Amino acid sequence: ATKLWQEKIGSVVDVLCYSRSDKKGFGTVGRLSGQAPEVDGVVYLKDDRIQLGQFKKVKLTKFVDYDFIAEPV
């Protein structure tokens, strides 16, 4: 499964932004449509100005320990 997620690096996808991040250097936490709570990782975004509860188009830039790092586009 990890290989499948890594193949998404560089893709532009929609992410549901649902929480502020407590991880240093990141402002928002979201999920891809295929990421299940309690099972899969999350998507971390550095931008903390994103409105929660909204979908945001992002570019996936890294995959680390089951989580994606992404940048808004």
pLDDT along the chain (73 residues), means of 10: 86 97 95 91 93 96 94 94
List of residues 6+ apart from 39 with CB closer than 8 A: none
Strands (E), the chain: 12-20, 28-31, 43-45, 54-64, 67-72
pLDDT value, residue 13: 97
pLDDT value, residue 32: 95
* Cross-strand pairs, 68: 43, 63
Taking the complete model, does pTM exceed 0.85, yes or no?
Answer: yes
pLDDT value, residue 53: 97
pLDDT value, residue 1: 65
